[in-house]
Amino acid sequence: MKISDIFRSLNGYFIEKRFVLLTVSSIFALFLIVLFLSNGFAGGAESIGNFNYTHFAFKTPKFFLDILAKPVFTLLSAPFAIFGLKGLQLFNILVGIAAGYLSYLVAKELKMKQPILAIILCSFTPVFAYNLFSGLAEILFAFVAILTSYLLLKNRYTIASIVVSFLPLIRTEGIFLIPIFAIFLIYRKQYWHILLMLTGILAYSIIGGFVNHDFFWLINQNPFFRTTGIYGTGSFFQFVKRSPGFFGIPNEIFYVMGFVAGITLFLRDKKALILEFLLVFLPFLTYFFIHSFMWWSGIGNSQGNNNYMAAIVPFMAVMSTRGLTLFSLMFEIIFKRAWVKTAALYIGILSVIHIPFVVQNYPVSSDPYTRVIEHASNWLKQEDFRKSKVYFMDATFPYMLGLNPFDESKCKRIANNPEDFSKNIEVGSLVLYDERFFPIEKVEFDSLVNNHNLELQKIFEFDRSLRVYGRDYRVAIFKRIKPDSLVLTQNRMVAYGSKEQFKSLVFYDFERRYNKADSLYFAFDDKYDTKCLRIDSSKEKHLESEFDLSTISFEKPLELYLKLKICFKDTLNKPLLYVVEVNKDNKQVYRDEILLEPKIISLNNWSNLEYKINLPAEISFNGILKLYILNRNKSTYLIDDYQVGYCFKR
Q: What is the pLDDT of residues 131-145, one digit of tens each?
A: 999 999 999 999 999
In sequence order, what are the beta bridge partners of 579?
593, 628
Q: In the predicted model, is pLDDT for residue 103 greater than 60?
A: yes
Torsion angles phi and psi, residue 140, rounded to 5: -65, -40
Q: In the predicted model, is pLDDT for residue 288 greater than 60?
A: yes
Q: What is the pLDDT of residues 419-438, one digit of tens each?
A: 667 778 888 899 999 988 88
For the domain spanning 519-649, the CATH number is 2.60.120.260
Q: What is the pLDDT of residues 11-70, one digit of tens each?
A: 555 577 788 888 899 999 999 999 999 988 998 889 999 999 999 999 989 889 888 888
Average pLDDT, stretch 624-637? 90
How far does the chain reach from its first CA to its final CA, in angstroms? 87
Q: How many Å apart are CA 568 and CA 537, to the nearest integer?
A: 14
Position 229 scores a pLDDT of 62
State if pTM tops 0.85. no
222 burial via Cβ count (<10 Å: 0-12, 13-18, 19+): middle
314 prior amide bond cis, ω within 30: no
Mean pLDDT of the chain: 85
Position 465 scores a pLDDT of 65
434 burial via Cβ count (<10 Å: 0-12, 13-18, 19+): buried
Position 447 scores a pLDDT of 84
Position 366 scores a pLDDT of 83
33 CB contacts (<8 Å, ≥6 apart)?
A: none
Residue type, 544: E
Q: What is the pLDDT of residues 208-238, one digit of tens each?
A: 888 877 777 777 777 666 556 667 777 888 8
Supply the DSSP string of 490-532, one letter for each residue: HHHHHHHS-SSEEEEEEEE-S-STT--TTGGGEEEETTTTEEE
| Structure confidence at residue 2 as a pLDDT band (50, 70, 90) | low
309 CB contacts (<8 Å, ≥6 apart)?
A: 127, 239, 243, 246, 247, 288, 291
Q: How many Å apart are CA 617 and CA 557, to the nearest integer?
A: 5
528 CB contacts (<8 Å, ≥6 apart)?
A: 606
In sequence order, what are the beta bridge partners of 390?
411, 430
Position 80 scores a pLDDT of 96
Residue type, 389: K
Alpha helices in 110-248 (DSSP H): 117-123, 126-131, 138-153, 157-164, 177-187, 193-196, 199-212, 217-220, 238-247
% of residues, the chain, pLDDT over 70:
90
Which of 400, 393, 513 is CA-nearest to residue 448?
393
Let me know: does 108 contact 140? Beta carbons within 8 Å.
Answer: no
- Which of the listed CATH numbers 2.70.50, 3.30.310, 3.20.20, 3.40.50 matches domain 368-499? 3.40.50
Q: What is the pLDDT of residues 194-212, one digit of tens each?
A: 999 999 989 998 988 888 7
Kindly list the domain boundaries of the chain, sorted by start residue.
3-359, 368-499, 519-649
Which of 231, 274, 295 is CA-nearest to residue 513?
231
Q: Cα angle at 578 between 550 and 623, to 5 degrees? A: 15
**Strand order across the 454-461 sheet:** 411-413, 390-392, 430-434, 474-480, 454-461
17 burial via Cβ count (<10 Å: 0-12, 13-18, 19+): exposed
Q: What is the pLDDT of residues 112-171, one digit of tens each?
A: 888 988 999 999 999 999 999 999 999 999 999 999 999 999 999 999 999 999 999 999
Residue 523 CA: distances (Å) to CA of 235, 382, 501, 526: 8, 44, 33, 9
Paired sense of beta strands 541-548 and 501-508, if any: unpaired
In sequence order, what are the beta bridge partners of 510?
none
**Number of helices and strands in the chain (H, E):** 24, 17
| Structure confidence at residue 472 as a pLDDT band (50, 70, 90) | confident
Q: How many Å apart are CA 166 and CA 222, to the nearest integer?
A: 16
Q: Which long-range contacts (CB under 8 A, 24 or more apart) does 327-335 make?
A: 327/253, 327/254, 327/257
Let me know: does 65 contact 207? Beta carbons within 8 Å.
Answer: yes
The reply to whether 368-499 and 519-649 are identical in fold is no
